[in-house]
Amino acid sequence: MSVITVERKILEKNDEVARQNRELFANHDLFVLNLVSSPGAGKTTLLERTIESLKSTIKIAVIEGDVQTDLDARRVAKYNIPAVQILTRGGCHLEAHLVREAVTNLDLRGVELLIIENVGNLVCPSNYDLGEEMKVVVASTTEGEDKPLKYPAMFRNASVLIINKIDLLPYINCSLTALRDNALKINPSLTVFETSCTSGAGIGAWCDWLVEHARRKPAS
C-alpha cells in the first residue's frame, strides 16, 4: 500500500475565488456584506427598509440568492438600484464563483455598498466565504432565543447580529436578553442591533453603522 499526503482544505477552491472577489471589491472601494439567516427571519424586508433609508445617502447594489424565483430581486429592483438574482436551483448556499458571475452582471459604477443576501439557511452558508468584508446574521424573535446555541457556526462567523421582529415581543415567548446573551456566548465580539421592519425601530442605528463602515476606507 502507498499513501499520498494531501493535507489540503476541502473548500480551498471556493476560498481562492473568494480571495479574488475580495480583491475585485477592494479595487472598486466596495464595502460588501453577506446577509445570512434562516428562511423567513426578514432579510429581504430589512434590505428594503435599509434601501429606503439610505437611498439618498449612499449608492447600494444587491445580489439576491435564492433556491428558486427572482421574486426577491424584483422586490429590491423597485427601488431603482442595481440588483441581480442568483438561482441556486436546489443548492442550499451561495458559493464564491456564483457571486463572481453575478458581479459581472452588476453596474458597480459609483456603488459604495454591496449587500449579498444569501439563501435562507443557518447551516451551510457559514462554510462558504464569498469574499465579503463581514457576515451579518439576522435572527428574528419568533425563531426563539436558543437559535444561536443550536446553530453556533453561523453566529461564530458573523460580525454583526440583527435581532429582528422586536415589535412581536409582547405576543411571543422569547426573551430579548436571553437571545442576545446566547449569541454573545458563541461570539462575544458581535455588534448587536435590535430592529423591527414594521415599526421602523432600530433601523436608523443599523443604517448609521452601515454608512460609517461603508465610508471607512481601508488604511493604505
Partner 1 sequence: MHELSIAQSIVDIVGQYVPPEQAAAVRTVNVRVGALAGIVPESLTFCFTAITAGTPLAHAELAVDFIPYRVSCAACLTTSPAEPGLALCPHCGSAETTVLSGTELQVVDIELNSIATEHV
Q: Where do contacts with partner 1 occur on this chain (CB under 8 A)?
A: 1-11, 13-14, 91-93, 95, 123-124, 126-127, 149, 152-153, 155-156, 185-188
Q: Residue 190 Cβ, how far from partner 1 at the closest point, in Å?
A: 10
Q: Residue 169 Cβ, how far from partner 1 at the closest point, in Å?
A: 25
Q: Which is nearer to partner 1, 8 or 109 (CB)?
A: 8
Q: Which is nearer to partner 1, 57 or 152 (CB)?
A: 152
C-alpha cell at 98: 456564483
User: Residue 33's closest CA among 58, 63, 53?
Assistant: 63
Kindly give the interhelix angle for 12-27 and 96-104, rounded to the nearest 10 degrees: 30
Write the DSSP symbol of residue 219.
Answer: P
Q: Residue 20 Cβ, how far from partner 1 at the closest point, in Å?
A: 17
Pairing of strands 134-140, 31-37: parallel
Distance CA 97, CA 75 (A): 24
Q: Which is nearer to partner 1, 48 or 95 (CB)?
A: 95
Greatest alpha-carbon pair distance for the chain in Å reads 67
Q: Residue 157 Cβ, how far from partner 1 at the closest point, in Å?
A: 10
Q: Which is nearer to partner 1, 149 or 201 (CB)?
A: 149
